[in-house]
Amino acid sequence: MKSSTSERLREIMRERNIKQADIVRLAEPYCAKFRQKLGRNDISQFVSGKVKPGQWKLTILGLALNVSEAWLMGYDVPRDRDTYDPDLPSNILPLPKTRKVPLLGTIACGEPILATENIAAYLDVAEEIHCDFALRCKGDSMMDARILDGDVVYIRHQPDVENGEIAAVLIDGMETEATLKRVYKSEGQLMLTPANAAYSPLVFIGEDIARVRILGKAVAFASLVR
């Protein structure tokens, strides 16, 4: 569902045949403009995955490599960045354009997903995140996918997903709220797998498969400040 900044940096380095020193060089004009430091040690830490870049350094990397910050963070969004306004004061970073999506609470039985009674609140999300609604994760069943209790997961509405993708699903007779699981399909069988070895997968065979309703594919998540 989501890559890491480390993986995205290595991807760019492979595609463009550049080294860490080249990234430092490309970042120099923006470091000077924003009065920030970004050295080879920083890049080495980011590429190795030992350290994640903070807001300033992420912005500088995005400008230097001409990619969007959200893509560089690992989200499933377009790589191209929005046009940057060079006339902004050097101490101000442009905020991403946002829109509101509904945060779903309890799903009303028989009602459309986005029926009024299903919506608990509205959340701001970057325009480049192509999603239709959001869910708040409960429990630790997806912790190995880095989705923790209380995190907000953004969902693109679609009735099916590819094997191994994380989806929001409803299970007739078991859940009144949507749950997140990896989906695996084979002939005559559907398996919903948590990303935590402490939990067992749910297996549906034959007619029981109809009990599972896929609401959409998880495309991004936002962690709480911990």
Which one of 4, 141, 200, 223 is the catalytic residue? 141
- 146 and 194 in contact (C-beta within 8 Å)? no
Which of 51, 86, 80 minimizes the C-alpha distance to 66? 80
Residue 182 sits at the vertex; the CA angle it makes with 152 and 146, to the nearest 5 degrees, is 45
90 is catalytic: no
Residues 133 and 153: their CA atoms lie apart, in Å, by 9
100 is catalytic: no
Which one of 138, 181, 185, 217 is the catalytic residue? 181
* Exposure string for 73-88, b = 16+ CB within 10 A, e = fewer: bbbbbeeebeeeeeee
In this structure, what token pair is assigned to residue 61? 């990397």
- 36 and 16 in contact (C-beta within 8 Å)? no
Q: Which residues pair with 157 in a beta bridge?
A: 216
Enumerate the active-site residues. 141, 181
